[in-house]
Amino acid sequence: MTSRRDFIATASLAATGLALAPLAACSQNPADPPVREKPAGAIAGIVPLHGALLTRAIPATGEQVPVIGIGTSGSYEVPLASQEFAALKDVLKVFFDGGGSVIDTSPNYSNAEDVVGALLADGGWRDRCFLATKLAADSRTALESQWADSLRRLRRDHVELLQVHNLRNMAEAMPYARELKAQGKAKYIGITHYLERGHADTVRLMRSEKPDFVQINYSVNAPQAAKTVFPVAQELGIAVMVNRAFDDGKLFAAVRGKALPAWAGDVGVASWAQMFLRFVVSHPAVTVVIPATGKPDRQADNLGGGVGPLLDDARQAELVAMFA
């Protein structure tokens, strides 16, 4: 039975476009005591989440996706059958058990597509994954062979999201992406960039191309997208995928030895990683953020960034000022 507290929580989330993802082995009620027992198949040292992962709607369709996804640059560029690959199996188990589904990769990340394809097939998660990859080539012929390779390496006959990487060769890549969408090979199409100096071109192309998704950098120390890309995404109904929420890991060096704000516990934030991610998903334009890690305990930590109350404007501004 739904308690009044659960109902109020769900109703107020719905008002912000948020919902709660179904979550195995976790409590839906923030007042419940922490879950201590280790469920069957759990990974040593990983404590299950104490709440449900928030989800947001993709404006083009209304489809809900969990707000915490996974990036694969660097962390997934590892040899198959290595110790790092074995650790990634646990990373994905933590991720899917915790209610995650969105994974972002690219043919430009050396062998990351091979690694993702193998992990999803081995773990039986291929159909539970909202899989995003990219087009990044300079001619139609090269785009076609790159896409064929991507499908082979990902062990899929379609992807959920196909993005033009860093706005490269938009004149050929975007029409090709549209063709693939029309053929049912990609459910959504998008464009990506990762630097502030790319925001103006990104906004111009959002207006002219009207993609389903835009992927862009946004973090406590690089909050410019809130002024450039996000308002246009909200105006045009474009989903936002955020990259570099940790500034490629540099933010952790900036907070070494630094205490969390005194109010962190009030919003269920237990680490700086969770604070950086909660900051990102607190912006209403953001659909999903894709932090990258090759470590299962860090994956569990990152999922916690998407569980609990959002930060109000004053708290978001306080964080931006702290890292300015």
Ligand X SMILES: NC(=O)c1ccc[n+]([C@@H]2O[C@H](COP(=O)([O-])OP(=O)(O)OC[C@H]3O[C@@H](n4cnc5c(N)ncnc54)[C@H](OP(=O)(O)O)[C@@H]3O)[C@@H](O)[C@H]2O)c1
Select the span of 87-95, 118-126, 226-234, 291-299 touching ligand X (CB under 6 A): 291-299
Check binding of 209 to ligand X (CB under 6 A).
no
Q: Which is nearer to ligand X, 9 or 94 (CB)?
A: 94
HSE value, Cβ hemisphere, 13 Å, CA-based, for 143: 23
Q: Between vectors from CA 224 to CA 219 and to CA 229, what angle results, nearest 5°?
A: 105
Alpha carbons 286 and 233: distance in angstroms, whole number = 9
Check binding of 75 to ligand X (CB under 6 A).
yes
Q: Which is nearer to ligand X, 109 or 125 (CB)?
A: 109
Out of 238, 290, 307, 311, the only residue in the binding site for ligand X (CB under 6 A) is 290
Check binding of 174 to ligand X (CB under 6 A).
no
- Please name the residue that has the structure tokens 């030895």: 257
Burial of 23 (0-12, 13-18, 19+ CB in 10 A): buried
Q: Which is nearer to ligand X, 21 or 112 (CB)?
A: 112
Alpha carbons 172 and 283: distance in angstroms, whole number = 33
- Min separation Cβ 62 and ligand X, Å: 25
- List, in order, residues 6 or more apart from 239 with CB less than 8 Å away: 58, 59, 60, 188, 190, 212, 213, 214, 233, 287, 288
Alpha carbons 189 and 55: distance in angstroms, whole number = 20
Out of 22, 252, 263, 312, the only residue in the binding site for ligand X (CB under 6 A) is 252
Alpha carbons 219 and 140: distance in angstroms, whole number = 35
Binding mask 87-106 for ligand X (x = CB under 6 A): -----------------x--
Out of 55, 64, 101, 243, the only residue in the binding site for ligand X (CB under 6 A) is 243
- Min separation Cβ 60 and ligand X, Å: 19
Check binding of 161 to ligand X (CB under 6 A).
no
Select the span of 120-128, 221-229, 245-253, 309-317 touching ligand X (CB under 6 A): 245-253
Q: Helices (DSSP H) in the chain: which residue ranges?
A: 4-15, 83-97, 112-123, 140-154, 170-182, 199-209, 229-236, 250-254, 272-281, 296-304, 313-322
Whether residue 232 contacts residue 202, with contact meaning beta carbons closer than 8 Å, is answered with: no
Rg (CA), the chain: 19
Check binding of 244 to ligand X (CB under 6 A).
yes
Q: Which amino acid is at 112?
A: A
Out of 88, 292, 307, 310, the only residue in the binding site for ligand X (CB under 6 A) is 292
Helix (H, G, I), strand (E, B) or coil at 59: coil
Count interface residues toward ligand X (CB under 6 A): 30
Out of 85, 96, 194, 323, the only residue in the binding site for ligand X (CB under 6 A) is 194
Q: Which is nearer to ligand X, 194 or 323 (CB)?
A: 194
- Min separation Cβ 217 and ligand X, Å: 7
Check binding of 175 to ligand X (CB under 6 A).
no
List of residues contacting ligand X (CB under 6 A): 71-75, 104, 165-166, 192-194, 215, 243-249, 252, 273, 290-295, 298, 301-302
